[in-house]
Amino acid sequence: MEQVMAKNDTRLGILLMIGATIVFALQDGISRHLASEYNVFMVITIRYWFFAAFVITLALKQSGSVRAAAQTSQPWVQIFRAFVLVAEICVMVMAFTVLGLVESHAVFVCYPLLIAALSGPILGEQVGWRRWAAIGVGFIGVLIILQPGSGVFQVAALIPLLAALMFALYGLLTRYVARRDTTATSFFYTGVYGMIFVTPLGLWWWEPMTASDWGWMATLCVTGALGHWLLIKCYEMAEASAVQPFAYMQLPWAAMIGLLVFGEDMRTNVIIGAAIVVAAGLFTFWRENLKRAAR
């Protein structure tokens, strides 16, 4: 009875989601600092070592053994999904160092629109004309941010767009494997195989790190585990449909860190474009909830 009540605690779920967005924004700020001083692959490798240890500990707690957590009828899809996520993280952290947090997140926030657009060909879901219209409006917002054809356009601005595309693919693959696998199994493959993929690159480009930056690295590892723990608890407390819109709050938190800590600029076109993208994303999410309720 207590578990049922906890599942319907929407207010606590929303607070946990907001907490997760704050933690992930802090994680992005630390990643930006470390990746500007050291090789991106090395930073991601150390982060994944801690993440994999966290995932294995969680698997032992939830499934009883590593073998039980790794049990799946679709191992290659799970492995490919883990590869896509670790590649996306590397690309996104690279974007932080090239563009900064503000513009990277302003472009990346379009990933829910990419999920909506690709859900048809990949998952066979039906996408109606209203959602297609919202997707089109959202990408107008992306074009406002990128300003192609203008003197201020940078090819580097396409880096977070690539990261968004990869994260959308990861999200769709997560939906796909969830049809037959548990959350614990998917989480296990995400951490363990992500570590396997990135470790050779991190060791190849290993650099000595200062004591103070090891402190930041430790904080990065802890925030990564804490953020995922908050998300897990969030979805235990409330339905995804109630809390998912609050995931957009990572954009203003990351922008604040970019402005206050790294001295980044907030251009008018970025504000307008990001607002359009978020509004379009919220609309597609609302339409998806309506269709789910109708079914």
Look at residue 217 in the predicted model and tell me its pLDDT.
Answer: 97
Rounded to the nearest angstrom, the gap between the alpha carbon of residue 270 and the centroid of all alpha carbons in its chain is 20
- pLDDT higher for 8 or 244? 244
**The whole model's pTM is what?**
0.87
Tell me the pLDDT of the chain averaged across its residues: 87
Biggest alpha carbon distance in the chain?
61
**What pLDDT, on the 0 to 100 scale, is given for residue 153?**
55
Q: Whose CA is closest to 17, among 175, 240, 188?
A: 240
- In the predicted model, is pLDDT for residue 36 greater than 70? yes
Cα 216 from Cα 209, distance rounded (Å): 10
Using one digit for the tens of pLDDT, what is the confidence trace for 63-99? Answer: 788 888 889 999 999 999 999 999 999 999 999 999 8
Q: Quote the pLDDT of residue 2.
A: 40
Question: Which long-range CB contacts under 8 A does 83-86 form with residues at least 24 apart?
Answer: 83/193, 83/194, 83/197, 84/166, 84/169, 84/170, 84/173, 85/166, 85/167, 85/170, 85/190, 85/194, 86/44, 86/48, 86/194, 86/197, 86/198
pLDDT, tens only, 126-173: 777 787 888 899 889 888 888 765 544 577 888 999 999 999 999 899
Tell me what the mean pLDDT of segment 180-185 comes to.
85
Q: What is the pLDDT of residue 1?
A: 37
pLDDT, one tens digit per residue, over 118-129 is: 887 887 777 777
